[in-house]
Structure 1
Amino acid sequence: MSEELADKIATVSIQHYLSLPGKSGKPTNPSEWTLMSSIVLETGNKDLKVVSLGTGSKCLGKNELSKDGGLVADSHAEVLARRALLLYLYGQIHLLQNQLESDVFSKMENGKVFLKSDVRFHFFTSHTPCGDASIIPKDEPPCKVARLSEHADVHRTGAKCVPGARQDPKLAGREYHVVQAVRTKPGRGDPTASLSCSDKLAKWSAIGVQGALLSLLLDRPVFLASIVLPSNCPYSEASLRRAVIFRLPENCTNFPKFFRSSVPFPHCKLPGGKPCPTSLLWSDSKHFLGGNKSFEVAVDGRKHGLGKSKALTKAGRLKVCKVELAVMFKEVAAKLCVKVDDCNTYRDLKDKASFYNSEWKSIREFAFPEWPEKDKTFEQFCV
């Protein structure tokens, strides 16, 4: 991959973001900023197309989480773009099941859908991923940093080391942070259970972005070919590689390449500015979003613009919340004759993905021993 392609990925992502309706999860005044991430499909003929996009910088605190799977806990742009990709992939399976052509899948056979060999997915994000990748020396060339030098100060990350593991010493300069630590995102007073985007990108680089449920339907995992950042944010390829790649076992080989494009993001993070309070979620999957609508606006993990009486009902759910994604999975799985009728809860569905779960357990024990186990009480809801 070339820097020219990285610029094209950044350009098509930003142009798509700007083309979406003006009051839909984007800054509305000069003092606001937002984070934006997208996933761009590249096919064999080198066409580039944005297939998912998300904006946002907020998470729900532990006390705000929902046990019915109806709220999205993590609304950082990277996470929403990846969840919107799941919508896209379900939509592509739906096309194949209706004997229509899919951009990414070639055939269905023995309960599996096969990914085309010439398909690649690229990840654009408008700011350095929170967590370990954001710990970047301030006074060294950004692409030549192998480790933090003795006298360097570093950019800070608001993500906190998980309890019970190594903690930041918060000393001067390079001693402020420890590196390669699993971290949780900051909340608004109430601590969150959401892990940093650096940690999530590392996980996706190890076992794919498709997650447990889709792993039951696909012939192989879906990996990111590259991660592209704009020109107007802190950048260090070495820090990205340290955060996303160097923590993984040697048998993990589907690593993304990293690029800094020459293209700026127009709504970048501003000193003294305020984050946009809403998030935008877009997916090239109208079938699952309903009618001709291809985007949703979110606030506090649910649809924006609904009164309190509807906020926690089905009408208030985002299509990328756990329960809605589980319903989509069961819909396409049934048409593939994948037996899931005996699964009553979301946890039951995830337990079906035994190979995926085993792979992740092995990687987590080797590379991320401090990675917290999920609280399964939040996965016992019925689907």
Structure 2
Amino acid sequence: METKVLKLLELLLSETNEIKQKLNKLEARLDNQQHIDRIFGDIHRYFANNDAKTGNSPGNDSKPKQEVPANAGNLEMAKCNRVTDTEPEIDNIDLKTSEISIDDLKSVLKYTLVEEIGPSHAPTFKMAVKVNEKIYYGKGGSKQKARDDVTQIVYNSISKNKVKPTIKDEKNEPRNVIIDLSKLKKNKLEYLKPLLKFTLIEQIGPSHAPTFKMAAKVNGKLYFGNGGSKQKAQTSVTQSVLQSLNQKLINDNLINVQIEPMTVKTDPKYVENTYSLLKYRLVEQTGPDHKPTFKMAAKVNEKIYYGVGGSKVKAQMNVLELVLGELLKNQKQKQHGEVKSLSETKNVNLLPTKVQNTSKSLKYVTSALQYNFLGTTGAMFKMAAKVNGKIYTGLGISKTKARLDVATQVHTSLLTQTNECQQPETETKAAAFINRLYPNAIYTCTETRTDTRTEFTIIITVNNQQFVGIGPSKKIAKKAAAFSALTGLGDPPKTQINTVVKPEFFRRLVEEKIASLMSQTPQFGRYKVGAGIVMTRNGNFLDCDVVAVATGTKCIRSAKITNSGANLNDMHAEILTRRCLIDFFYDQLELSLEGRKETIFERNGPKFRLKDGIEFHLFVDTTPCGDASVFSPRNVPRRQGFLRVKVEAVGGAVSTKNERIFREEKLLTMSCSDKICRWNVLGLQGALLSNFLDPIYLKSVILGNVIHESHLQRAIYGRVKDTLVNLPSPYKLNTPSTFFLPSTRQSPASVPNFAITWSKNNQQCEIINYRTGMTQLGPSKVSKQRFLQKFGALSEKIWGKNLEIMYIEAKFSAFEYNNAKNSINEAFRSADLGNWITRPIEREMFRLKN
């Protein structure tokens, strides 16, 4: 059977090959015949063209015939021109309207083939049409392409000469309708269309494919629209009306912000200041509730910019990007004419220490500068001078006034550097501030010696800008350069930190601190999640410190937990950071008892409290686990707000209402969102320190990624806002400011098996093993066991008693704290959010070891 099938297949293949060979021969013959026909056609046109030039005809023998070269056909083919014997007649059409689409135009035009040129394998066709007694030509590699080309040319000509639509017959003008879009509940097409009064203006095109032109009058303005049906034309009119009214509504509601392009900078501080300066407005929100898309608008220099994003913040950032791009473009255009002149400005080195706040000192600066004339700006003259590597420009109604403006700016800048140079402590902070903000700043030092003196020149290079400081010692020169950089890069605010600048600055401080700690132990240089707490004094940018940082993402296994308080159970970064802050509080209380002025605490009756102006800001570079990470649709609110626990060996956080988690003997730890929520009621100091301190609250919470603002606010205080009652004084519901920053750090693919903790006044960080919850040397400084030891030492100094109590007794001795804790737990239950899960009591029944 198989043999027969194989023979049949072979027979079919052989017959198929024979058929292919015959088809190839036929195709070759056909090509040859077409080739011959083309040659004869070329020869015939050659004779016809020559006879037309000489006046001969094929039947006229009175004049000698012109000899035809033997290769006339080939010569003509070399020219590759094939034209018609006579100029074809092109039919004219009268087009009475300019409102017509390309497709409708194709249906009414009458095309004529005028010429075919080029080789036979790649010909070019030339088509012509006549419209309103004017001839238009088009070319293409095929007749269809030539038709499309000439159609486009006609359409462009019509569009170019298009006049504004009008209605000739006043009786046919549509009735005016007054519409205020702001009063409409919905401004979609289906709600706006029934309000309009449409009028048919004209109908054009063939009967089988007509085009209708409709009009409507809104607020005294005519709107037109075309369509293949009256319904489509009305929709087109409505779209034009809606677009115009929307634009007017946005123009009326947007607040214009004037920004001079020449003042635009690219450093992060200026970008964040510009972000806060713009007045944004939500234009529209589209998409489903669980994944909306926002369109924001802002008006700058009388021009409106739009941005789209998955959140309002992202849309605003896209608006900001467009605004800065346009301003920088305008800046480059304005600077183009000044670059050459500025580069020719000669530098003058002036010592800040020689400048005084006197008119004589100003005259000295005025005479010492070398000015460069940049031209005029309107009726004002513009001058420039270069001092210590920095260029100053000034304006005036005369060149003398412009020079004086430049000299005044230079004098003020040098005077500021002189005053600051007289304050060594502040100068040190200024140099440190430059290093914090710009860790990649480059310092270069040169020494100049003469017979009488020695001068040092320090140049700080930041973002391709150079700032020079000169002095008799390196220290003074560095200080002068640092303040020159601060002035040139924009003076940092000396009072309250701007709410947009602050989060980015705090993140940078925390990340730099973690990086510096990692550099001490390169083998532990990877981390998944980091967190830190920054302390500020009176909101001063120059007077802030990172007091606690930590990294970590895991919890200890239940098999490794002891009842001695030596283990750390929850090793998530934000939880460890708060424990490091408590360690910092213990150190500060010790300083207070020693009478040290640098402490952050002061006496408040039997307890201590924070000094005025001290504030704490928490930064976490990812969303806390638990309720803050729940992004359920708005129409399913019961999935949000629940208390959640981190279950041993289970990813994520599980609601405490899920009874299944209690059936297995696994470690349960409350989620980070729930713990932060309790901190906003009970404070950061914890139960033990509540015996000595009034509650201490966070001023702001900053996340290193962007989520919806309502999610974080709900998670950290909003869900108990309505049910929290009977709080003892001085406890309260704290509502910290919340900020969101786009993520900038690349997290490692795998989770490290260690955590890192550090608090201020510690020389080195601690490395905590995830498996044991301890360091290699034993219990961590932030463990319960070590905190109980510090509590005992403070008790003896403050109360004069050497307490030998259990940890749980020390916790319950803070009566007001425990009453507040009962109130917050009851608030969770009253809101039907679940119960707070507590640890077994035996884990807190260890005693203080002597």
TM-score of the aligned structures, taking structure 2 as reference length: 0.36
Q: Can you list the C-alpha shifts for 1:251-282, whole angstroms capped at 9, x where unaligned? A: 643211110135x44243x5xx1112111100
Structure 1 residues 246 and 110: alpha-carbon distance in aligned structure 2, compared to 1, 3 A threshold: closer
1:35 aligned residue:
529
Deviations 1:43-78, CA, capped at 9 Å, x for gaps: 115122100011000101333322110000011001
Letter in 1 for 2:733: T
Partner amino acid, structure 2, of 1:345: M
**What is the alpha-carbon distance in structure 2 between the residues aligned to residue 281 and residue 2 of structure 1?**
28
Partner of 1:320: 782
Q: Report the Cα offset of residue 111 of structure 1.
A: 3.7
Is residue 2:685 matched to residue 1:210? yes
- Tell me whether 1:196 sits opposite 2:693 in the alignment: no
Could you say which structure has the higher helix fraction? Answer: 2
* Per-residue deviation, 1:243: 0.8
Map 1:209-358; keep pairs closer than 5 Å.
209-218=684-693, 220-230=694-704, 233-250=705-722, 252-261=732-741, 264-268=743-747, 273-286=749-762, 293-300=763-770, 301-304=772-775, 306=776, 315-337=777-799, 339=801, 341=803, 343-358=804-819
Pairwise CA distance, 1:18 = 1.0
Letter aligned with residue 223 of structure 1: Y
Match of 1:145 in 2: none
Q: Tell me the distance in 1 between the aligned counterparts of 2:733 and 2:818.
A: 18
* Distance in 2 between residues matched to 1:340 and 1:371, nearest whole Å: 33
Map of 2:196 onto structure 1: none
Query: Which protein has the larger Cα radius of gyration, Structure 1 or Structure 2?
Result: 2
TM superposition shift of 1:135? 1.3
- Deviation digits for residues 332-366 of structure 1, max 9, x if unmatched? 2221117562x521011111011100111112112
How much has 1:236 moved relative to structure 2? 2.1
2:511 maps to what in 1?
14
In 2, are the aligned partners of 1:52 and 1:282 still within 8 Å (CA)?
yes
Kindly indicate whether the alpha-carbon contact (under 8 Å) linking 1:133 and 1:243 is maintained by their aligned counterparts in 2: yes
Q: Are the aligned partners of 1:36 and 1:78 in contact in 2 as well (CA < 8 Å)?
A: yes
Structure 1 or 2: more strand by fraction: 2
Alpha-carbon RMSD across the aligned residues, in angstroms, is 2.4
Say whether residues 1:88 and 2:584 are aligned partners.
Answer: yes
Shift of 1:234: 4.8
- Structure 2 counterpart of 1:295, which letter? C
Q: Alpha-carbon deviation of 1:34?
A: 1.2
Once residues 800 and 629 of structure 2 are traced to their aligned partners in structure 1, the CA distance between those partners, rounded to angstroms, is 41
Work out which structure has the larger RCO, using CA pairs closer than 8 Å and 6 or more positions apart in sequence: 1
Question: How far off is 1:113 after superposition?
Answer: 1.6
Equivalent residues in 2 for 1:34-113 (5 A)?
Answer: 34-44=528-538, 46=540, 47-105=543-601, 107-108=602-603, 110-113=605-608
Match of 1:367 in 2: 828
Cα distance in structure 1, aligned partners of 2:696 and 2:513? 23
Q: For structure 1, which segment, 37-46 or 16-25, has the greater mean C-alpha deviation from structure 2 after superposition?
A: 16-25
- Tell me the amino acid that sits aligned with residue 245 of structure 1: Y
Using the aligned pairs only, state the percent identity.
27
1:80: how far off? 0.6
**Post-superposition shift, 1:318?**
0.3
State the match for 1:377 in structure 2: 842
Question: Match for 1:285: what amino acid?
Answer: N
CA contact (8 A) 2:556 2:773 kept: no
User: What is the one-letter code of the residue matched to 1:323?
Assistant: Q
Counterparts of 2:612 and 2:741, CA distance in 1: 26
CA distance in 2, matches of 1:370, 1:43: 38
The answer (yes or no) to whether the contact 2:687–2:817 under 8 Å persists in 1 is yes
In 1, Cα distance between equivalents of 2:600 and 2:708: 32
Counterpart-to-counterpart distance in 2, 1:66 and 1:279: 19
Task: Evaluate the alpha carbon distance shift between residue 234 and residue 114 of structure 1 in structure 2; reply closer, same or farther with a 3 A threshold.
Answer: closer
Per-residue deviation, 1:185: 1.4
- Deviations for 1:58-117, whole angstroms, at most 9, x for unmatched residues? 101333322110000011001110000011011111111122123421x23544222112
Q: Which amino acid aligns with 1:132?
A: D
1:123-163 per-position Cα deviation (integer Å, ceiling 9, x unaligned)? 000110001101136xxxxxxxxxx235xxxxxxxxxxxxx
